[in-house]
Structure 1
């Protein structure tokens, strides 16, 4: 199932940077959600699995900048 997000959600994608999730793909219970994300710096659109994305910082909500592990 594909869901268009309105409004888009600010996200950080591992190895790609900050952007906005414009959609989410759900293939079912045996799969990660896939976030369709437009990267702000490059305009690229990437489909990132759930473990590779984090919500961006939000001062009002008390959420610090996310920490993403980089693979070795």
Structure 2
């Protein structure tokens, strides 16, 4: 199933950089969600599995900018 995100969600893709997810692909319970993301600096579009993406920090919610070192 493909879900278009409106509005897009800001996130970081490991080894690619910051961008905005414009869609999510869900292949079912045996698979990670796949985030369709436009990378801000390059304009590239990447489909990244869930362990490779992180939400940005959010001062209001008390969430620091996450490290991607622990991503698989």
TM-score range, shorter chain: over 0.9
Alpha-carbon RMSD:
1.3
Residues 43-58 of structure 1 correspond to what in structure 2 (within 5 A)? 43-58=43-58
TM-score (norm 1): 0.93
Distance in 1 (alpha carbons) for counterparts of 2:60 and 2:39: 23
Is there any run of 5+ residues in structure 1 with no aligned partner, and where? none
TM-score (norm 2): 0.93
Determine if contact 1:14/1:70 at 8 Å carries over to the other structure: no
Give the paired residue count: 71
Is there any run of 5+ residues in structure 2 with no aligned partner, and where? none
What CA deviation, in whole Å up to 9, does each residue of 1:8-54 have, x standing for no partner? 11100000000000000000000000000000111110000000000
Residues 33-72 of structure 1 correspond to what in structure 2 (within 5 A)? 33-69=33-69
Q: Post-superposition, which runs of at least 4 consecutive aligned residues in structure 1 deviate over 6 A?
A: none
